[in-house]
Amino acid sequence: MIDEPALRRAFSDFAEALLERYDIGHMLYRLTDQAVEVLGVEGAGVSLRGGPDELQFVTATDDRSSRAERAQIDAADGPCYEAFRSGRIVTVTDLEQDARWPGFRETALEQGFHGAAGIPMPVSSEPIGALNLYASSAREWQQEELDVAQLLANVASGYVLNWRSLHEKETLASQLQEALDSRVIIEQAKGILAERHGLDAGGAFQRLRRHSRDTSTELHEVARQVVAGRLEL
């Protein structure tokens, strides 16, 4: 079932972002959150082209989704890679019954995921990455859901392309490195909060994200303040 108010918020955020410079890592973080809200899945991630036939992990909603994403990157295979290579949506109803991509399959099941979908992020006829969706139970993907998922993947592509146009003198590779560097800071801050409050990684990330939203501060900036000891959460 599609959450239409959440979908409208996603497009509203996109329209506002086009009017100003923004942090690509933060916007893709927000987009994965929005995909979960709009589609009612339990996880989402984005991986972008890092080479002619390579993907580079950029962001995910939580640690479980991050591990599933990284399993695909490590194996260079999975619904994400297949969607990226083919330019077509790739779905998995139940990984218990689907023997494709054994490396990814094992990790995804370990993380409690059964359904998955890889949605290509198109630029003209050549995808620049994929938006990936994860469901905790077997899922019969409906066409309406996949259509909306493709719209969200198009928004992700729009973020990347608009970022590139706003940074004409920079290469996409360096821009993506900024996103990855931002994630390193966030992971460090999560570790600090987890140790300080006895939280798991997911709980620590939620604490960071909550403060970011409550104070209208970029997520990576909140993380930097935590790592630098300037912010007690």
**pLDDT value at position 168?**
56
d(CA 193, CA 80): 31
Question: Residue 38 pairs with which residues in a beta bridge?
Answer: none
Extract the tokens encoding 118: 């890889």
> What's the confidence (pLDDT) of residue 181?
67
- The SS3 assignment for 23 reads coil
- Residue 121, strand partner residues: 129
Question: Mind listing the pLDDT tens digit for each residue in 59-89?
Answer: 899 889 999 999 999 999 999 999 999 999 9
What CATH topology corresponds to 181-227? Answer: Arc Repressor Mutant, subunit A (1.10.10)
Task: Over range 172-197, report the average pLDDT.
Answer: 76
- With a cut of 80, say whether residue 178 has pLDDT above it: no
Homologous superfamily (CATH) of 4-168 is: GAF domain (3.30.450.40)
Which secondary-structure segment (H or E) carries 172?
helix 172-197
Q: Write down the pLDDT at residue 10.
A: 87
Would you say residue 132 has pLDDT above 90?
A: yes
Helices (H) and strands (E) in the chain, counts: 9, 5
Residue type, 60: A
The DSSP secondary structure of 111-155, one letter per residue, reads TT--EEEEEEE-STTS--EEEEEEESS-----HHHHHHHHHHHHH
**Mean pLDDT calculated for residue range 6-16:** 86
Output the CA angle 4-9-14, nearest 5 degrees: 130
Give domain limits for the chain: 4-168, 181-227
Spell out a b/e string for 186-220, using b for 16 or more CB atoms within 10 Å of the CB, else e: bbebbebbbeeeeeebeebbebbbebbeeeeebbb
H/E segment holding residue 26:
helix 24-39
